[in-house]
Amino acid sequence: MSETERIIQTEYSDHLQKSYIDYAMSVIIARAIPDVRDGLKPVQRRTLYDMYELGIRYDRPYRKCARIVGDTMGKYHPHGDSSIYDALVVLAQDFKKGLPLVDGHGNFGSIEGDGAAAMRYTEARLQKITQEAYLADLDKDVVDFMPNFDETEKEPVVLPVRIPNILVNGSEGIAVGMATNIPPHNLGEVLDGVEAFIKDPDINTEEMMEYIKGPDFPTGGIVVNQEDLKAIYSTGVGKIKIRGKVEVEKVKGGKELLVITEIPYTMIGAGIEKFLNDIKGLVEDKKTNDIVDISNQSSKEGIRIVIELKKGADTEKLKNLLYKKTKLEDTFGVNMLCVANGRPETLGLVPLIRHNVEFQYELATRKYTTLLGKEKEKQEVQEGLIKAVNVIDLIIEILRGSKNIKDAKACLTEGKTDDIKFKSEASKRDAAKLHFTEKQASAILEMRLYKLIGLEIDALEKEHEETLRKIAEYTDILNNRATMAKTILKDIRAFKKEYATERKTLLDNAEEIVIEEAPIEEMDVVFLMDRFGYAKVVDQTVYERNKEAADSENKIVFTCSNLDKICIFTTTGRMHTINVQAIPMGRFRDKGTPIDNLSNYDSSEETYVFIQAMKTLREKKLVFGTKSGLIKVVDGSEFDVTRKTIAATKLADDDEVVSVDYFNEEESIVIQTAKGMFLRLNESEIPNQKKNAVGVRGIKLGADDHVTDIYHLHAGENIVIERSGKNLELNRLKTAGRGTKGNKH
């Protein structure tokens, strides 16, 4: 190995762990979680900054979204155009954002889940508030800039946002191992909260909630657990219950309509269609008989979902049913996670405001430091020009006597007179006393003659006075925190006056809805399933009338309770359950429903070996037999579970269940293998085990042999099978011990 080569040995798991942590932090910081200062994710920040750079202002024409997306992707965000366009669309949707930051022109989607048109068709520009409160002062060194991905451009680390955007617009995002979900709030209330914090930095959550009362969703609705908000805002975590707004309208004929005019924020998009389907489901399942029709009359003016009721319907009861059984009442899971000081942190309401106010002070400090520097530069030049006007004749003499600009400048700044011709020694002596600064000398040399007009001189002096006033003002702001606070409050009040809107979401404390459903009367029904896997249940009297046809046309037939469950045991060792009530109860000639659609059972991947009702299973035992010759007995009560799918038995990798049937110690079973071996043994020899056991050996298999069938010989029953052209009566086989080879037939 040469001296330049070095092989570093490292533990693979350590390297993998470090790489994954780096990846996770990249997703958290650079993709999914917003910064607490501007409340924006990187893709949103870059898109807004690119629009600012392209000059797409609120008072200028719209520009194609494709241009914005392409420019953003090429300069700042190399992660694909769809992520940029999706972010741009959301920033323009007033039903998702409490304060839209982009003014969209064209089809930007709808509250009902319609997607936006392609970016080549839509146009956009910045909103006025985005320019004034999000992108202003970028030229005043208020935020740091960093190189873009290929170091050909500079982009802001954070935007100089002047309002707590993280609260006003909220945020949602899924990172690695963590997620954020911050609800939107009312702009006016949030700015009142900021003002309260600036006046009293020791304010607590309860006091802050006098100003910021709760979330304010763009879709309106009603928060029904107002009493929980204090705990949510203290910890930054919790659940907000939201209901849609329902109004009752009377129509001709004494009928009434339930009209939904506001929906929960969580219902935006496909949730509305699901809500309509859920209402249809309530009617189909006979949960209510009061609904005649339902129609979605929503438009650009707002949500309007109309439910037509029967005459005399109990509207209050029906409203409660909708709240309880549909997404008209839903939960918004709050997790106020954001990036603070470079690391993800879950913050309560007051800490979020504190971070924002600290950011406002930082912005103001940097802004007025920059402005003060510029005014001091102007002061220097102005004082030089005023001084020059007073000795203008001497300056003209210096300029006329100089061979070049270098000599003239040296005279003005350092009093060097050796290379300049003067009319008199007095002028030379006066010139030697001049000591203008470099900037003053440059300004004097560039000064035009019209500046010597009396009015121009007066304007210069007034401009100098204004400069001195600004210097005093900026110095006071920078040296006095109280003055800076007043300046910040002045801007905040101006934003509130121009952009604040009325609260849309109502805050209330409502009691938990309890629906008293009439108990379902228990009755016996008959479960039928044909050889194609179509299942149905029929009334017992219907079955009795068609018994012969039912038994001949269906593969599975048994009686069960309508409150029971159907258990399906499969070759893969799993058991799937179906509530009998979930199986359509139909007429005898109805086709039924595929059993795959009613449960987790998938006939394309596994085959059922036994189907029975849970109530019957509880009172009996089951015998399991597998392809590898293992057998066991399990108490049926072990399968009385609430889950829809469980492991009914433990299997080796290449094994599968061949048979499941009821156990009877007075009877026997016959095990048949692929190579024609038959073993009859008494069921009493099979041990009782738990469902998670693999079982014991039932038959000793030869090389490359496996069990194909297991027959249960019930009392008084003779099973005859065909072997090599002859009939083999299984009840004539002699019994043998468990674990033996059996006999060949």
H or E stretch including 55? none
The predicted-structure confidence for 699-713, as pLDDT tens digits, reads as follows 999 888 999 999 998
Please write down the HEC assignment for all residues of 275-327: HHHHHHHHHHCCCCCCEEEEEECCECCECCEEEEECCCCCHHHHHHHHHHHCC
Q: Domain residues of the chain, as ranges?
A: 40-158, 245-327, 364-498, 524-744
Percentage of the chain surpassing pLDDT 70?
Answer: 97
| CA neighbor of 317 nearest in space, from 480, 468, 513 | 513
Confidence of residue 517 (pLDDT cuts 50, 70, 90): low
**Segment 7-17 mean pLDDT:** 78
* Cα–Cα distance measured from residue 308 to residue 295, given in angstroms and rounded to the nearest whole number: 8
pLDDT band for 697, please (50, 70, 90 cuts). Answer: very high
What is the per-residue DSSP string for 385-428? HHHHHHTHHHHHHHHHH-SSHHHHHHHHHH---TTS--SSHHHH
At 4 the pLDDT is 64
Spatial separation of the C-alpha atoms in residues 582 and 46, rounded to whole Å:
51
Instruction: Please answer whether residues 265 and 221 qualify as being in contact, where contact means their C-beta atoms are separated by less than 8 angstroms.
Output: yes
Residue 597: what pLDDT?
87
Pairing of the two strands 677-682 and 720-723: unpaired
d(CA 387, CA 601): 96
Q: Sorting pLDDT into bands at 50, 70 and 90, what band is 332?
A: very high
Banded pLDDT at 518 (limits 50, 70, 90): low
Best CATH choice for the domain 524-744 from the list 3.40.50.410, 3.90.1150.10, 2.120.10.90, 3.10.20.30: 2.120.10.90
Rounded to an integer, what is the distance from CA 739 to the centroid of its chain?
A: 58
Smallest Cα–Cα separation from 384: which of 450, 455, 467, 453? 467
pLDDT tens, position by position, 184-204: 999 999 999 999 999 999 999
Which residue, 38, 99, 92, 219, is CA-closest to 495?
A: 99
**Tens digit of pLDDT for each residue in 134-186?**
999 999 999 999 999 999 999 999 999 999 999 999 999 888 778 899 999 99
pLDDT at 347 (0 to 100): 95
**Of the ranges 361-365, 462-466, 692-696, which is most confident?**
361-365
Packing angle, helices 454-479 and 349-390, rounded to 10: 150
If you average pLDDT over each of 209-213, 579-583, 652-656, 672-676, which comes out highest?
Answer: 209-213
pLDDT digits (tens, 9 = 90+) for 107-128: 999 998 888 999 999 999 999 9
pLDDT at 514: 65
Could you say which of 20, 58, 121, 601 is catalytic? 121
pLDDT at site 588:
85
What pLDDT shows up at residue 179?
A: 87
Helix, strand, or coil (residue 632) = strand
Task: Give 235-283 pLDDT, tens digit per residue.
Answer: 999 999 999 999 999 888 778 899 999 999 999 987 888 899 889 888 8
Identify the pLDDT of residue 352. Answer: 96
**Both tokens of residue 372?**
């003060």
The predicted pLDDT at position 229 comes to 96
* Rounded percentage of the chain residues whose pLDDT exceeds 90: 58
* Residue 265 appears among annotated catalytic residues: no
Q: In one letter, which amino acid is 732?
A: R
Residue type, 669: I
pLDDT, mean of residues 296-322: 89
Assign domain 40-158 to its CATH superfamily.
Topoisomerase II, domain 5 (3.90.199.10)
Mean pLDDT of 52-78: 95
> Tokens 């359509």 correspond to what residue?
584
Cα-to-chain-centroid distance, residue 429: 79
Predicted confidence (pLDDT) at residue 30 exceeds the cutoff of 70: no
**Residue 505 in this model has a pLDDT that exceeds 80:** yes
User: What is the third-level CATH fold of 364-498?
Assistant: Topoisomerase; domain 3 (1.10.268)
Q: Can you give the pLDDT at residue 452?
A: 67
* Among the listed residues 43, 33, 111, the one whose alpha carbon sits nearest the alpha carbon of residue 77: 43
Instruction: Check if the beta carbon of residue 127 is closer than 8 Å to that of residue 58.
Output: yes
Q: Which CATH class is domain 245-327?
A: alpha beta
Average pLDDT, the chain: 90
Shared fold status for 245-327 and 364-498: no
Task: Inform me whether the pLDDT recorded for 642 exceeds 90.
Answer: no
d(CA 43, CA 383): 47
